[in-house]
Structure 1
Amino acid sequence: MTAPVVITGLGLITPAGEGAEATWSAVCRGVGTATPDPALTGLPVDFSCRVPLSSDALDQRIGRTAWRMSRDAKFAVLAAREAVRDAGLDPSTWKGARVAVVIGCGLPAGAVYEEQSRRLEELGADMVSALTIPQIISNMAVGEVSIDLKAHGPSLAPATACASGASAIAVARDLLVSDQCDIAVAGGTEATISRLVTTGFWRLGALSRRADAAAEASRPFAADRDGFVMGEGAGVLVLERVEHATARGARSRARLVGCGNTSDAHHPTAPDPGAKGAESALRIALAQAGLAAHEVDHVNAHGTSTPLNDAGEAALIARALPHRPSVTAPKGVLGHGLGAAGAIEAALTVLAVEHRTAPPIANLQAPAPEFDIDCVTGRPRPQDIRTAVSHSFGFGGHNVVLALARAS
């Protein structure tokens, strides 16, 4: 059993808005945020879930360094600032050498690739931005957060596709347990909605085609689900060892009591149909937490709304957690935040534990008849959630499960 760490701060910027409470409220309302996307006009899939902030509004919030940042880095900086404030911490006074930053990202700055490639071909090499490389490398979001927070401890950028944000939280836990830091700022970010990336996912058959009802397109675990909706955003958590948080009188929002990491070793993009690797990740997380399967009250499912993922995940939940804990899937509201999704959903799981409420799955009246799982539908369900798990799976066969428990 691994010593738990506590989560003392949350920061979110998502298609539901800026701030953890805005996202929590939207997820509890259970209404999809997908809308037609002018940047995707003319493509086979022309809708997405965008963060509702203009470029100017983002820049105003970031301040004088915004000019050099890609959109995903801006999201990460804003979410990290909120999480640190929420934790009651002040970067101007903390010991920066004992602060780690771990931010995962799946496909950084897709729009930057697209625009700079166009400039090269149409305008010539002299018109390619000198910021191209700093904006497209996958570690720059964590670099910008470290700079912004004056954090001099370890800074890492896990890249495990759609599990990246959850991987970052697991890595942060390990840094704390091994005493490489006292505070870890961890999560995921993504801002890669572009014509090329969207078309690439469409060619894989991964995206919903429901353009006539975009807000209803993402429908995890529904019988008529047909793919996910592109999303973006960032989720960041502040983690500390229990004794460190207690010594400074911090509020503990929840405990991170276990992390399971496995690989399917099956296929580049398709999940293992038996979900054996995912089930192993769940069992590892529970073993670390010292929890029996029947003690899990709530599951935040990866729930992408794709036929293969949802079928495998539903079978996994029914098999490993036969007592039928409540199941939610925020991608029905927020779309698929890719590398940010695992961190956004970990934060939402913390809020579910804290508010003792299981949010509904948007656009779902009942799960597909072959799925023997207790999906929350229609409205939020009051529930005494003491322990919960959050699932994150990614292309390449990455499986990450985080086990969370009530702070007290």
Structure 2
Amino acid sequence: MFDVKDLSLADKGKQRIEWASQSMPVLGLIREEFSKTKPFTGITIGACLHVTTETANLMITLKEGGANVVLCASNPLSTQDDVAASLVTHYNIPTFAIKGEDNNTYYKHISAVLDCKPNITMDDGADLVSSIHSKRKDLAQNILGSTEETTTGVIRLKSMEREGVLLFPVVAVNDADTKHLFDNRYGTGQSTIDGIIRATNRMIAGNVFVVAGYGWCGKGLALRARGMGASVIVCEVDPIKALEAVMDGYRVMPMSEAAKIGDFFCTVTGDINVIRLEHFEVMKEGAIVANSGHFDVEIDVKSLEEMAIQKRNIRDYVCEYTLKNTKVYVLAQGRLVNLSAAEGHPSAVMDMSFANQALSAKFIVDNKGILNKKVYKIPADIDNRIAALKLKAMGVTYDSLTQEQIKYLKSWSFGT
């Protein structure tokens, strides 16, 4: 039971999975623990995640814990076909993912995962959860809970909670400090620059790089772009984040102004139509536009195509749009450029993110029947454990409080 591009790619995929595992020591320790305790015996876990080497190591960890694991892709362009083949061939994990799959195939693969009647779902963008709520509500009664990997998905799920329609508990993996402070900032920063450079082979240094959104992903991207020698502009709608960007040394201005002077543009907002028709119309000749937010809605590609006089694919993942007075280039169809044109986040940072996924799934099982139908933040003890394990793996030691200090911090009577 699978649908992958080519099983002959499996051996290459296995080697790459093993290479990634060398930079994922925290998940490795959890795998050792799970292989002994088997917390997921009798549990089916359905996952809709980017099918990468790092995700493969998470799936293997869950299976070691006794789970029946089924996987599909959370983005049509993010699948690594050799990894998908290896998961099927070497690890006997049903996988439904083909790089470049069309929209119908994408949702057919989601349906294939749901047909396995999962007890726990793992999402990166909430597509499994939204499909259950819109089309497969009959499955909800057997679901203990779900985990969500990304900001965009958490936003969708919290909206469902507010409206009272959420049918089971969800753990917001993205909200863990050991996820968003590191994965979103350092992972997105590095992998997005990597994707843009691989797609274009253009120089970052000496150019104007426009970052739309100054959340943790935007902070990481701005930091890395500046480190590559770019002059960075930040576009924001939140006055606090805009002020923070100014204090961090970036220029801040509306997109309507940035569009006139930017050489590179990248959206990381989680919102729709951040770069629109009126922005394309004033862009410089040769402007390069990319997205590193989860869904392909941040760049208004539809309006661009309607406006374009001519369109052609000039390089892999680079589409040239000829407009009346200029040419602009959109990378990876406006989808996640770091996973479409590159390999996504480095394994070392995904080690923490997927450790959170694994331990969150165990948290759901351990609290069966106790959790309410709401979005939960990961418990602090899980977050702290992952941070401590990561530091240990890195060979870093840190201080601990003395008993005197603990007493002082708990007391109100010491004064000054």
Structures share fold, TM-score greater than 0.5: no
| TM-score (normalised: structure 2) | 0.28
**Structure ID, larger Rg:** 2
| TM-score (normalised: structure 1) | 0.28
Q: Which has the higher contact order (CA 8 A, sep 6+)?
A: 1
